[in-house]
Chains A and B, each alone.
Chain A
Amino acid sequence: MEKQLDLLKGTLEMLILKAVSLGPLHGYGVLLRIQQISKDRLEIQQGSLYPALYRLEHQGWITSEWGESENNRKAKYYRLTAAGKRRLLTETEKWNSMNDVIAGILRTTPEEV
């Protein structure tokens, strides 16, 4: 397995929003979805997932309901709310612009300064 990347601070919530925006998921499903999308290159602390989910729910960006999982277990499914959708958009924009700026800085050669 190639080396996994530690998640940058504050990005887990954005990733959760993205994961559930593709369709309702239970907690473990969120974990799998993120790992799947990232092609197993991100390491997510399982323990930190749930506090983040509860925080998002408390803030009203996702909502949950009980349902059955694939192997007949009771599981709580999370969905994105309208507010969550807007939040995901602004977070994504913020991330992208920040990404550009930082990438720009890092790409700078001595001659350019």
Chain B
Amino acid sequence: MDVELRSHIAAFADDLIRNGVPEQDAVRRARIEFGGIELVKEECRDARRVNLIQDLIQDLRYGLRVLGRNPGFTAIAVITLALGIGANTAIFSVINSVLLESLPYKDPDRLARLFSHPLNTSNNYSVSGEDYRDWTAENSSFENMTLYSGFQNYNASGAGLPETIIVARAQDNFFSVLGVSAQFGRVFVPGEDPHGTENIAVVSYGFAARHFGDPASAIGKAVRLNLQPYTVVGVMAPHFNYPETAEAWIPLSMSLEIIGRRGNYSFSALGRLKPGVTLPEAQADLSGIAARLAQEYPITNSLEGVYLVSLKERLTGDSRMQLLVLFGAVALVLLVACTNVANLLLARATGRQREIALRAALGASRGRIVRQLLTESVLLSFTGSALGLAGAWWLIRFAQSVKTLPLPQQNPIQLDVTVLLFTIGVSLLVAILFGLMPALEAMRTAFNDELRSSSRNVAGSSGWRLALRNALVIGEVAASLTLLIGAGLLLRTFARMRTADLGVRADHVLTAAVVLPDTKYKDLSSRREFYGRLLERVEHLPGVKAAALSQAIPLEGSHGQTAKLPGDTDLRRQALGINVNFVTNDYFRVFGIPFLSGGGFTPEQVNRAFGVGQELTNYWNSDARLLNAPQPKWSTFAIINRTLARALWPNQDAVGRTFITNIVQPVTVVGVVGDEKYDSIRDKPAPEAYFAATEQLNNSWYPPNIVVRTAAAPESVLGGIRGALHELDSELSLFRVRNMDQVIADGMQDTSLQTVLLGAFAALGLVLSAVGIYGVMAYLVTQRTHEIGIRMALGAQRGNILRLILGRGAKLTLAGVVIGLAATFALTRLMKAMLFGVGATDPLTFASVSIFLFIVAFLACYIPSRRAMRVDPMVALRYE
């Protein structure tokens, strides 16, 4: 087009010359007669609408120039968008893959765990193989079910050093019920190894990598599990983690010898519901079967119910509220980010009022102006989005590379496209809406008015727009206040949990589990002898103050039994659920738990406990249970904690009194000790009974731990303990070696994660609001430079000017804080369950966060205020 018009003018000029016009005048006259070339071009473009693309390129070029001319504005807007989109998406993606995303199994919503549920307690227990068989045969709700036993600790060695891992024994259909296949090799096939003699194993990706380097090369290789040779037939995908932390799966023989005893509750069961069957329907179905079994086998099953939980709920636990809070945080950050962008665009719109009026006066059509502004807004949004996307991608790569992320990992962490598109969409919408506002307003006001009023107008913008901008700042402050207070409450929770009284001295304590393979240490005597010799050697190591055996570790949970007073024969009466632990006397010294009355076990009592242990083992292995014979009575001794003593014998000394449990009776109390927390820091101390360690030495589910109180750092004695173990049996290894501080940190994982996440959102919100306040105040100062100049010329002191600007900022912040406090007051109640030791409306947190926000807002206002203060009246007045 350009060429065409130029050649026209040239041809015209040639003709003029031919007609006698002097050459130097010809081109000029040709141009004049032709008229405004640009206008003609514009009309030509309009004439053929195909020219949209050319317009777009022109608009883009102009848009880039405009954005480039205001680097401050552009940088703030783009960074705001990038943070709002990028950081938000990244944080959300991590949460999403961990908690929200469905499990990486086929139709995960149809998977449910089945528990045995004694009717007189509120707990869920493992299931008995024989009950499971009846459930499978009689139910009409499940497509199929599988039985497995998880959490058994095995001594394992492949090509590398021996280690202790968690091995799951699983029925042949285990993997097909989950609907997963192996990464390399194969999983179990139906009818696999019916007698449990073929010794094949499927291993985790991590195990294969540790022992064989390349996981694919592990297929066909030999590994030793509990000193028995196994052949690896499959390697699972890196993220396969079921049952949790299992590293090897071996076939579970369904023979009567292994699973047959009714009343032996040692298995886990998982089922896949038929399509369309709901969990309550299946629950009713299974409860009916359990009721029938209770009638048929009254001795073992009279109190046995069954309880179904969806696998997802079981694995991600009670995360609904947590998610709600984090969703809220995402929404608030996005709100702050969008408010910022809106505010910036509005501020700029005021400045461009004249430009737009000028364009309109020079003949630009409405559509053309709107298109131009739209292009700029979209350009801005896309730049921010691109940057945000890059940032999110980088953050997620980072999260993927951090192996020790304290999250329950069922899914690989992935960028969440839905959230990404959502955040980009919202910011695009905001940018367009507020980007177009100047154009829409320009349409309404008369162009001439705008042109006539010079940039010198004092207020800078019309009333409604100022009000809107103020409202946006106030909203932004309110939103970040809410975020900050939420984070503050969690931070206080975190601090309270750190200093919470656990009932134990956690410093200078080392714990490690020692698993004895039952293939080598078959009878209880050999086990008792081994642990006794190990404990003796460890006690005499330099730097060890006290050492003991303990089945459970504080905060790690322990297994439960039920207790009641002897003579209470009413089976339906609610029994007291208690935690049980099996310890040697020095356990209480190691953890600094005081004896309130009585004392430790005498050697005779320890021997008696060992006898009970043997009888129990014989009983479990005999056919007595199978025949539904009544359970024999074993008398033993226990040390109990204050809570249990108070529950059974309020206001009396418990020592010398007896109670009964669902396993042994009568139990004579030999001592009462202080309370300690076994389940979690958040819980109240539970009733607890300690039996002598010799009663339970053959349990590979809860192997005995060596617990040691050290003089120096806990890890200083680790070498000595390993040496002692190696001297006794070179094929054994320590398992789950930790000091108590780590155990406490693990126990606080949820809270630390929540604190970090909400803290990250809050920090993001704070930075964005600070940027927002700064942006508005800075713009205000620019707008009022002239006015400030006049004020100063008329004698205003610098302090007055500073106060003027700061006062304006303070007013906005105050309004935001007041509204924010009201909103937060209502919202934090929702997160009550996440808190510990601090109320949802904790006044200290509310006050300190408000003050903190004020300080940040003050700083954000201070920089522009200083600029206002330094305004030179002469320059300001001369400036047009």
Contact = CB atoms under 8 A, between A and B. Distances in A.
Interface of A: 26-28, 32, 45-48, 50-55, 57-58, 69, 71, 73-76
A54 B47 contact: yes
A71 B47 CA distance: 29
B44 A54 contact: yes
B750 interface: no
23 contacts: A26-B4, A26-B8, A27-B5, A28-B11, A45-B35, A46-B8, A46-B34, A47-B34, A47-B36, A47-B43, A50-B1, A51-B44, A51-B46, A52-B47, A53-B44, A57-B48, A58-B47, A58-B48, A58-B49, A58-B50, A69-B7, A71-B14, A73-B7
A71 B11 CA distance: 8
Interface string B1-38: 10111011011101100000000000000000111100
Contacts of A71: 11, 14
B426 to A, nearest CB: 38
Interface string B261-289: 00000000000000000000000000000
A20 to B, nearest CB: 15
B7 A74 contact: yes
A73 B48 contact: no
Nearest to B45: A54
A9 to B, nearest CB: 15
A102 to B, nearest CB: 29
A74 B39 CA distance: 22
Interface of B: 1, 3-5, 7-8, 10-12, 14-15, 33-36, 39-40, 43-50
Given A47-B35, A51-B43, A28 B48 contact: no
Contacts, number: 62
Contact of A46 (B3, B35, B44, B45): B35
A22 B49 CA distance: 28
Given A27-B8, A58-B50, A50 B44 contact: yes
A51 B40 contact: yes
Nearest to B3: A74
B11 to A, nearest CB: 4
Contacts of A50: 1, 4-5, 8, 40, 43-44
B661 to A, nearest CB: 93
Contacts of A27: 4-5, 8
Nearest to A46: B34
A50 B6 CA distance: 12
- Give 8 nearest A-B pairs by CB, closest first: A47-B35, A54-B47, A51-B43, A58-B48, A55-B47, A28-B11, A73-B7, A54-B44
A28 B7 contact: yes
B818 to A, nearest CB: 59
Nearest to B43: A51
A49 to B, nearest CB: 8
B392 to A, nearest CB: 44
Contacts of A28: 7-8, 11-12
Contacts of A69: 7, 11
B47 A75 contact: no
Contact of A73 (B11, B44, B46): B11
Given A27-B8, A28-B8, A47-B36, A54 B3 contact: no
A76 B4 contact: yes
A47 B14 contact: no
A75 B4 contact: yes
Contacts of A52: 47
Given A51-B44, A57-B48, 13 more contacts: A26-B4, A28-B8, A32-B15, A45-B35, A47-B35, A47-B39, A50-B4, A53-B44, A54-B47, A55-B48, A58-B49, A69-B11, A76-B4
A54 B3 CA distance: 14
A27 B7 CA distance: 9
A25 B35 CA distance: 22
Given A27-B8, A73-B10, A74-B3, A47 B48 contact: no
A78 to B, nearest CB: 10
